[in-house]
Amino acid sequence: MIVGLDIDGVVADFLSPFLRFVEKKIDNGPIAIESITDLSFKEHPHLTEKAVWGCMEEVSYDPAFWRDLRSLISPKEWQELEQLSSQGKLVFLTHRYERDTYSIHQVTGDWLKLHGISKPIVHFTQEPKARLVQDLGVGLFVDDRHENCQDVAENTQARVFMPHRLYNQSFTHPRVKRIRNFNELFNYVR
């Protein structure tokens, strides 16, 4: 079975450095991570969708931002992922933006290699992920954004796991399983 993993919010800590970036830009004091209850930022008390979108666009042009992201999983978990990867059973599926000024493919590949994935396979798309999941024959899909989980759950045969996060906590779906750690994923694959 092929496992399809999202990167940001699943194996890479995108949100904390992004909030630090937004703080600097908007200059309206610290933004508590607990205040992010929805990644669309629609309900946020003092961040507008437009401001957040501007920041998102800005970091998309900054290779250093992506290079410096911290890992959300342990070295042991990376080893297990490498095992799957070396057997041709792991792909990464991301909505990271591709820009002309640098190669996000290179930066992302290097970051995954740094964590022990010797030959990472990463697919970039701006389309809903269900299409890629279908085309690649992914049997287990993992994403922290509930919109992506719902899309894949409703449009493919893949099993869908969603790592528990504050910003996805209110979402439930009969075909999306909320997981608390990666062992649940490895146990399922075994």
Interface with Mg ion (CB under 5 A), residue total 4
Identify the residue whose tokens are 């996060």.
165
Residue 102 has φ and ψ, to the nearest 5°, of -160, 170
Distance separating the N- and C-terminal Cα atoms of the chain: 10
- Is residue 6 near Mg ion by the rule CB under 5 A? yes
Nearer to Mg ion, 18 or 78 (CB): 18
Smallest distance, Mg ion to C-beta of residue 14, A: 7
Give start and end residues of each alpha helix (H) in the chain: 15-26, 49-60, 63-67, 75-86, 104-114, 130-136, 146-155, 182-189
- Is residue 144 near Mg ion by the rule CB under 5 A? yes
By CB under 5 A, which span of 18-26, 61-69, 79-87, 140-148 interacts with Mg ion? 140-148
Smallest distance, Mg ion to C-beta of residue 28, A: 25
Sign of the CA dihedral with 158 first, then 165, 185, and 96 last: positive
Site for Mg ion in 68-107 (CB under 5 A): none
- Is residue 8 near Mg ion by the rule CB under 5 A? yes
Closest alpha carbon to 129 in 110, 111, 112, 142:
142
Choice from 9, 63, 120, 163 touching Mg ion (CB under 5 A): 9
Smallest distance, Mg ion to C-beta of residue 65, A: 15
By CB under 5 A, which span of 38-46, 105-113, 139-147, 171-179 interacts with Mg ion? 139-147
Chain residues binding Mg ion by CB under 5 A are 6, 8-9, 144
